[in-house]
Copies of this chain bind each other. A is one copy, B any other.
Amino acid sequence: MSFNRKVVILRIGHRLSRDKRISTHVGLVARAFGAEKIVFSGVVESSVIETIKRVVETWGGPFDVDVVANPLTFMKKCKEKGMKIVHLTMYGENIQLSGIIDRIISDNTDILIVVGAEKVPGEVYKIADYNVAIGNQPHSEVAALAVFLDRLFNGRELVKEFTNAKYKIIPCKRGKKVVRVGVTDES
């Protein structure tokens, strides 16, 4: 397991206005926890995409944002390319009990992680190679994505170095320490 494995997030079922901040958090978690791209399906406020892009400009990347019209078509295309599809759902196999994370890691393929809002079409459960529950209780797609990626990358994502960051945090016991960094792109 390493960051050589490509992880893409597909956010489906975004509801205009209501899900604006949750979808933004899903995008920021995707970047901060080691994914390389988030894809929204359907119609999403431009402010969601702009906020994520602004974070990439300020804190570094690489990290991409995209929008697709049809999530099921996108899932099928990813599958044809050899990616495995992981659908995060409270109804799925419990990550703590089922050994499912070891199976996903040993697949050693690129991964598409599908993160839904309240209603998810039944077909998503069928197309997915794995339906994974981060516990079988209702909580949050933001939390589910973070814990899944933390288990997948085994904590290494939390010390990932981003490139072309304008700012960097120096961890400290009290208060805030932020430093301005040079542009590190050598091109």
Within 129-187 of A, Cβ neighbours of B (below 8 Å) are at 131, 133-140, 142-147, 150, 155-160, 162, 168-169, 171-178
The answer to the question of A18 belonging to the interface, with a C-beta cut-off of 8 Å to chain B, is: yes
Residues of B within 8 A of A122 (CB): 175
Contact residues of A: prevailing secondary structure:
mixed
A5 to B126: give the CA distance in the assembly, Å. Answer: 40
> Number of A interface residues, CB 8 Å?
57
Question: How far, in Å, is A156 (CB) from chain B's closest CB?
Answer: 8
Given contacts A91-B176, A150-B147, A158-B94, whether A136 and B171 have CB atoms under 8 Å apart is yes
Which chain A residues have a beta carbon within 8 Å of chain B's beta carbons?
18-19, 21-22, 25, 28-29, 31-33, 55, 59, 90-98, 122, 125-126, 131, 133-140, 142-147, 150, 155-160, 162, 168-169, 171-178
